[in-house]
């Protein structure tokens, strides 16, 4: 019996009458197996109230463990509703519209061994079957077998109709740009059999992760004899008779834990709109030893969790064609009654596109790999989680005992903000544009909405610019007037402004924060949140929108512009032109400061030290760094840990990526 959704709350009364609680899956919260919309090789019975990857046994046919198979003529990343890694798929180019759908392979992965694909008269080279198990599994064997009963048209019993020649290839995983119908998916050949007489074929191979499998017919002596015989009787070679070889089903066997398994929850209704805080989980690393599951804190396992939140029950929008071929939005119930388009002109009554409801739903969050992180999503009344339980060890896995998200009532019904340059509040092009790396003053306008509820209001605002920001002033009221904030904190990635008074339904003045900062990316979003400074209640994300008629951007996006397309690395400076690493406390370490521009995300950065003859003497990895002012340090030692001799050297900061970057060499002296 499926229980109704409920919200598990642990309530804590705060100083502003707000309650911080939690929504929970697993443990004492919602049951995992009653609130999933999709799962791939998840074990719900491994431990009470927990989920974990299914430990695959070598006597289990993985194909029979997988659910919701999709059958395609030819796969593509453009197939409607395609989400890589969420459903197993089988594909084969069977005859087009109106052809025999059983040739799609549906009978080759069903649990009934008596069903089969009827042999067809076709070219040997055109017969292949490919399938995707959705996630990489620790595969050890591939197999196939003839049907258990029946006869070919020539009277041959199907159990004896063996495939005379074939090959089998496998592949581990895919990239978004891969050619789904080509050979890119199948990197390794595990069998190439030119003469087969066995009705049940088993191909063993060393345990390895595999996700894609392709069985392909090959030309054999029996095929050549049939071709020659048919050619002498006026036929068309082996295309005039059905190929030898009937397949009743495929088998894949594995031992251990998949590289990852997938759990996607249903869209779950929480009730009233709430704010969201941190995402937590309780998990245990496990290992199989001598057929017994034991805890192993050092196991190479982990969890990747994504969250999205919304204000209605469906993240999608549905459309119908109008009488002039355009699209209009319709309810899902109406969309399901429409006719699917099959080579017809767009017209009323025909289904059009399915879109994403970004007005009411956030996009998926960044993947979280550590418990206790803020999800930083807008408030909502519905949520959905997408989990990937990952392992880099065939015999180790992560058991997720429970997962929960902090929730709290709204501080305001809605909060909107927009940002613009202080000297251009209404840009002609409608968006804020600044020079890359240039100190710019911004006006950040905020407006709160309060309805008839009990939202307690807020008295603090955090603005994230991605880089250090310098506070200029706070303006409040109508008309705006400069007021003294209760407190200001300039942080590494923005600033926090504590207001002199609480903003509530009865005291809701316009608010403007003026600050200066630099932009190092082509597009940056100044995300922000409101909160209560003297309370542990959760912050509430601010939404981009119309906060005042005086500012016309309706956006928190800031675009960086540079006429000369600056280098990725600029403004390199050294703390001293001479390094003296003699442990006297003066210039023992070199601090190198620089700015990174226009990076699409964090990239690996390294410092390299060269002798004057071009030999590289030292390389220091600084880890991943994003756009903005950055720095690293060096102690004057080479790659072996020895101090370099006195002399003149050359330093270079490099991106460890495919980006083209002009090497900048800075001279540095070392003395003792």
What is the three-class DSSP state of 625? strand
Residue with tokens 């939140």: 309
**Report for 85-89, 104-108, 500-504, 658-662: range of highest mean pLDDT:** 500-504
Least confident of 32-46, 226-240, 449-463: 226-240
The CA distance from 332 to 616, in Å, is: 63
The answer on pLDDT for 509 being more than 50 is yes
* DSSP at 75: -
What is the three-class DSSP state of 367? coil
The CA-atom distances, in angstroms, between 600 and each of 111, 497, 523, 633 are 47, 29, 9, 24
* DSSP at 127: -
pLDDT at 417: 96
The answer on pLDDT for 239 being more than 60 is no
pLDDT at 658: 57
| Residue 385 or residue 321, greater confidence | 385
Least confident of 328-342, 420-434, 536-550: 328-342
pLDDT at 5: 36
- In tens, the pLDDT along 650-667 reads 888 888 665 555 566 788
Instruction: Sketch the domain layout of the chain as residue ranges.
Output: 21-55+260-315+357-409, 62-254, 319-354, 414-561, 569-670
The answer on pLDDT for 176 being more than 80 is no
What is the three-class DSSP state of 229? helix
Count of residues making up the chain: 672
* CATH number of the domain located at residue range(s) 569-670 in this protein: 2.60.40.4070
The answer on pLDDT for 15 being more than 60 is no
Predicted confidence band at 341 (pLDDT cuts at 50, 70, 90)?
Answer: low
CATH class of the 62-254 domain in this structure: mainly beta
The answer on pLDDT for 232 being more than 80 is no
What is the three-class DSSP state of 248? coil
pLDDT at 122: 67
Count Cα neighbours of 25 within 13 Å in the Cβ-side half-sphere: 28
The verdict on pTM exceeding 0.85 is no
Mean pLDDT of 402-422: 95
pLDDT at 75: 60
CATH topology of 21-55+260-315+357-409 equal to that of 62-254? Answer: yes
CATH fold for domain 21-55+260-315+357-409: Jelly Rolls (2.60.120)
pLDDT at 566: 57
The answer on pLDDT for 58 being more than 60 is yes
Helix runs in 244-379, H state only: 332-337
The CA-atom distances, in angstroms, between 510 and each of 216, 239, 633 are 69, 79, 45
The CA distance from 518 to 524, in Å, is: 10
The CA distance from 421 to 418, in Å, is: 11
pLDDT at 10: 32
- In tens, the pLDDT along 605-623 reads 888 888 876 678 888 888 8
What is the three-class DSSP state of 550? coil
By C-alpha distance, which of 519, 556, 512 is closest to 419? 556
Question: Does 2.60.40.2230 match the CATH number of domain 414-561?
Answer: yes
Instruction: Kindly provide the b/e burial profile for residues 233-264, where b requires at least 16 CB atoms within 10 angstroms of the residue's own CB.
Output: eeeebbeebbbbbbbbbbbbbbbbbbbbbbbb
Mean pLDDT of 491-505: 94
Phi, psi of 558 (to 5 degrees): -130, 125
Query: For the chain, what is the mean pLDDT?
Result: 84
């Amino acid at each position: 019996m499926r229980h109704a959704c409920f919200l598990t709350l642990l309530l804590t009364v705060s100083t502003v009458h707000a309650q911080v609680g939690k929504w929970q899956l697993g443990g004492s919260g919602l049951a995992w197996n009653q609130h999933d919309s999709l799962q791939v090789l998840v074990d719900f019975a491994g431990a009470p109230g927990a989920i974990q990857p299914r430990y695959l046994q070598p006597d289990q046919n993985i194909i029979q463990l997988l659910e919701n198979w999709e059958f395609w003529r030819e796969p593509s990343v453009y197939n409607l509703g395609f989400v890589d890694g969420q459903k197993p798929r089988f594909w084969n180019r069977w005859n087009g519209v109106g052809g025999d759908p059983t040739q799609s392979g549906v009978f080759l992965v069903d649990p009934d061994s008596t069903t089969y694909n009827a042999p067809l008269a076709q070219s040997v080279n055109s017969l292949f079957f490919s399938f995707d198990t959705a996630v990489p599994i620790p595969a050890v064997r591939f197999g196939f077998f003839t049907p258990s009963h029946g006869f070919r048209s020539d009277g041959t019993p199907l159990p004896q109709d063996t495939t005379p020649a074939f090959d089998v290839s496998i592949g581990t995983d895919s990239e978004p740009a891969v050619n789904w119908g080509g050979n890119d998916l199948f990197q390794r050949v595990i069998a190439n059999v030119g003469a087969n007489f066995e009705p049940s074929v088993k191909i063993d191979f060393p345990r390895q992760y595999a996700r894609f499998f392709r069985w392909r017919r090959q030309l054999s002596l029996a095929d050549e004899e049939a071709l020659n015989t048919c050619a002498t009787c006026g036929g068309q070679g082996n295309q005039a008779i059905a190929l030898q070889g009937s397949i009743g089903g495929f088998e894949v066997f594995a031992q251990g834990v998949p590289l990852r398994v997938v759990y996607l929850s249903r869209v779950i209704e929480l009730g009233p709109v709430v704010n969201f805080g941190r995402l937590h989980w309780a998990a245990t690393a496990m290992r199989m030893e001598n057929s017994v599951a034991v805890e192993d804190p050092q196991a190479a396992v982990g969890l990747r969790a994504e969250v999205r939140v919304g204000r209605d029950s469906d993240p999608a929008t549905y459309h119908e064609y109008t009488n002039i071929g355009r699209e209009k939005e319709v309810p899902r119930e109406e969309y399901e009654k429409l006719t699917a388009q099959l080579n017809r002109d767009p017209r009323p009554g025909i289904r059009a596109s399915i879109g994403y409801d970004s007005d009411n739903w956030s996009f998926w969050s960044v993947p979280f790999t550590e418990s206790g992180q803020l999800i930083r999503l807008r408030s909502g009344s519905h949520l959905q989680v997408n989990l990937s339980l990952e392992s880099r060890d065939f015999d180790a896995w992560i058991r997720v005992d429970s997962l929960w998200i902090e929730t709290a009532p709204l501080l305001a019904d809605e909060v909107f903000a927009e940002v613009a340059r202080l000297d251009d509040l209404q840009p002609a092009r409608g968006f804020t544009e600044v020079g890359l790396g240039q100190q710019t003053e911004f006006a950040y306008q905020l407006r709160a909405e309060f309805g008839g509820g009990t939202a307690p209001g807020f008295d603090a605002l955090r603005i994230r610019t991605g880089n250090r920001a310098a506070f200029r002033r706070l303006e409040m009221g109508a008309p705006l007037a400069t007021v003294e904030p209760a407190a200001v904190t300039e942080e590494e990635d923005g600033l926090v402004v504590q207001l002199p008074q609480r903003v509530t339904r009865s005291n809701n003045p316009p608010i403007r924060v003026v600050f200066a900062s630099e932009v190092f990316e082509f597009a940056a979003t100044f995300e922000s949140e409101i909160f209560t400074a003297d309370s542990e209640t959760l912050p509430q994300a601010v939404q981009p929108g119309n906060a005042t008629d005086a500012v016309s951007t309706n956006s928190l996006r800031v675009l960086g512009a540079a006429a000369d397309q600056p280098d990725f690395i600029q403004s390199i400076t050294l703390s001293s032109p001479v390094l003296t690493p003699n442990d006297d406390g003066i210039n023992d370490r070199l601090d190198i400061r620089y700015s990174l521009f226009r990076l699409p995300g964090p990239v690996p950065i390294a410092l390299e030290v060269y002798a004057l003859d071009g030999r590289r003497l030292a390389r220091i990895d600084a880890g991943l760094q994003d756009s903005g002012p950055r720095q690293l340090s060096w102690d004057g030692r080479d790659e072996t840990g020895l101090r370099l001799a006195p002399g003149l050297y050359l330093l270079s900061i490099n991106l460890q990526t495919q980006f083209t970057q002009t090497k900048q060499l800075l001279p540095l002296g070392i003395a003792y």
